[in-house]
């Protein structure tokens, strides 16, 4: 099975060189087609793409949308499968692409696969813990139409276009929908309900994490909760008061900090004090995002991190 690799970029910076070099070094029996769709970079992103001899398509920033731009990428690429990669996700080794393709080759009922996520070494410990919990959701991914088993629907449908591989023949019948965020979760839900399956591919690994400032941390969680409610009709934070949620999250941080052998005692203390404020910002974003349908759309849209990025 031949695959194309697609990267969506905007001001990707020097990190893009590492990604493109890693893609070229993948151990597969074909030379992957590489397509980069850039939405208005003002740095050297486009020059970097050309230096690596990848195919480049430029679109206006206002034309970017997580769903429709990925549909455009699928249309313009030629592989039987298409690997979708974010500009901040670095393949961890030269088996990344082969690992993504393996489930699709083994079983024709697999519509798409997604990679294991590992936080970058320089991430904060709070972010590292969050990424590791994010990746645990992948272990609940149903391989063969098991989405009705007794786990929450949102976990059963978990999928991540940060690093994924989509079977073209399935996408032709199930394209992504126009969405500012979580187009992958919506696609996975429709795939599973149609009797197909997705696969978590832990043999394919990417280094991926975000150390957001507090404003962007709030906006990202607001955006996430708003999208999850739109897709599943379920609130990420159903109650008004954060006491139990904060107890669980801060407690999880403290246990992670105690078990982290790479941190000095001083750093454990520092991050222990930072945890309550960091988690409160997360809670506020999730709670407000879960209730965003009560707000005027212009106000909710103003708190979308993706729309903020598109405007800058």
Round to whole Å and give the CA distance between 204 and 101.
9
pLDDT for the residue 132? 87
pLDDT for the residue 308? 60
Question: Distance between terminal CA atoms of the chain?
Answer: 39
Query: Which of these three, 191, 207, 223, is where a domain ends?
Result: 207
Q: Is 50 within 8 Å of 56 (Cβ atoms)?
A: yes
Helix (H, G, I), strand (E, B) or coil at 198: strand
Other C-beta atoms closer than 10 Å to the C-beta of 5 total 28
Q: Is 226 within 8 Å of 288 (Cβ atoms)?
A: no
**Do 181 and 141 fall into the same domain?**
yes
How many structural domains compose the chain? 2
CATH code for the domain of 9: 3.90.550.10
**Do 241 and 259 fall into the same domain?**
yes
Residue 87, token pair as written in the block: 């500009």
Q: Between β-strands 33-38 and 3-9, what pairing exists: parallel, antiparallel or unpaired?
A: parallel
Round to whole Å and give the CA distance between 275 and 284.
14
Give the pLDDT of the chain (312 residues) as one tens digit per residue. 899 999 999 999 999 999 999 999 999 999 999 999 999 999 999 999 999 989 999 999 989 999 999 999 999 999 999 999 999 999 999 999 999 999 999 999 999 999 999 999 999 999 999 998 887 766 656 554 454 555 667 777 889 999 999 999 999 999 999 988 899 999 999 998 898 989 999 999 999 999 999 999 999 999 999 999 999 888 887 666 788 899 999 999 999 999 988 899 999 999 999 999 999 999 999 999 988 888 777 666 677 666 666 666
Q: Is 10 within 8 Å of 41 (Cβ atoms)?
A: yes
Helix (H) or strand (E) holding 6: strand 3-9
pLDDT for the residue 147? 47
Q: Is 122 within 8 Å of 15 (Cβ atoms)?
A: no
pTM of the model: 0.89
pLDDT for the residue 145? 47
In terms of residue numbers, what domain contains 292? 214-311
DSSP result, 115-155 = EEEE--TTS-HHHHHHHHHHHHGGGG--SSS-TTSSS-HHH
**Do 78 and 106 fall into the same domain?**
yes
Q: Is 5 within 8 Å of 49 (Cβ atoms)?
A: no
Q: Is 155 within 8 Å of 189 (Cβ atoms)?
A: no
Cα distances from 289 to residues 116, 218, 223, 286, in angstroms, run: 27, 10, 6, 5
Other C-beta atoms closer than 10 Å to the C-beta of 41 total 21
**Do 194 and 222 fall into the same domain?**
no
Cα distances from 162 to residues 98, 108, 252, 274, in angstroms, run: 16, 23, 25, 28
**Do 267 and 294 fall into the same domain?**
yes
pLDDT for the residue 151? 62
- Output 18-22 pairs: Cβ under 8 A, ≥24 positions apart: 18/90, 19/85, 19/87, 19/89, 19/90, 19/91, 20/48, 20/49, 20/52, 20/54, 21/52, 22/90, 22/91, 22/94, 22/96
Cα distances from 231 to residues 4, 19, 211, 235, in angstroms, run: 28, 31, 26, 10
**Do 18 and 149 fall into the same domain?**
yes
pLDDT for the residue 23? 97
CB-count burial class (<10 Å; 0-12, 13-18, 19+) for 94: middle
**Do 196 and 280 fall into the same domain?**
no
**Do 232 and 166 fall into the same domain?**
no
**Do 267 and 198 fall into the same domain?**
no
């Amino acid at each position: 099975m031949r695959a194309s690799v697609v990267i969506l970029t905007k001001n990707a910076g020097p990190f893009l060189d590492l990604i493109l070099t890693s893609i070229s070094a993948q151990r597969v029996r074909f030379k992957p087609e590489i397509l980069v769709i850039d939405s208005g970079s003002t740095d050297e992103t486009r020059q970097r793409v050309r230096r690596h001899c990848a195919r480049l398509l430029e679109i206006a920033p206002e034309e970017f949308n997580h769903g429709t731009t990925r549909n455009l990428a699928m249309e313009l690429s030629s592989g039987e499968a298409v690997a979708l990669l974010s500009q901040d996700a670095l393949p961890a080794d030269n088996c990344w692409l082969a690992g993504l393709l393996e489930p699709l080759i083994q079983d024709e009922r697999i519509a798409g696969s997604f990679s294991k996520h590992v936080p970058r070494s320089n991430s904060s410990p709070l972010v590292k813990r969050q990424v590791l919990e994010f990746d645990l959701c992948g272990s609940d991914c149903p391989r063969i139409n098991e989405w009705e088993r007794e786990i929450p629907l949102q976990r059963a449908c978990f999928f991540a276009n940060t690093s994924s591989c989509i079977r073209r023949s399935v996408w032709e019948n199930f394209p992504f929908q126009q969405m500012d965020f979580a187009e992958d979760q919506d696609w996975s839900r429709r795939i599973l309900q149609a009797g197909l399956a997705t696969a978590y591919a832990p043999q394919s690994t990417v280094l991926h994490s975000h150390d957001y400032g507090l404003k962007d941390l709030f906006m990202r969680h607001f955006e996430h909760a708003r999208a999850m409610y739109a897709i599943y009709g379920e609130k990420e934070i159903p109650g008004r008061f954060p006491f139990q949620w904060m107890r669980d999250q801060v407690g999880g941080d403290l246990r992670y900090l105690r078990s982290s052998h790479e941190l000095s005692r001083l750093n454990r203390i520092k991050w222990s004090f930072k945890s309550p404020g960091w988690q409160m910002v997360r809670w506020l974003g999730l709670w407000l995002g879960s209730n965003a349908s009560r707000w005027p759309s212009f106000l909710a849209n103003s708190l979308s991190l993706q729309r903020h990025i598109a405007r800058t």
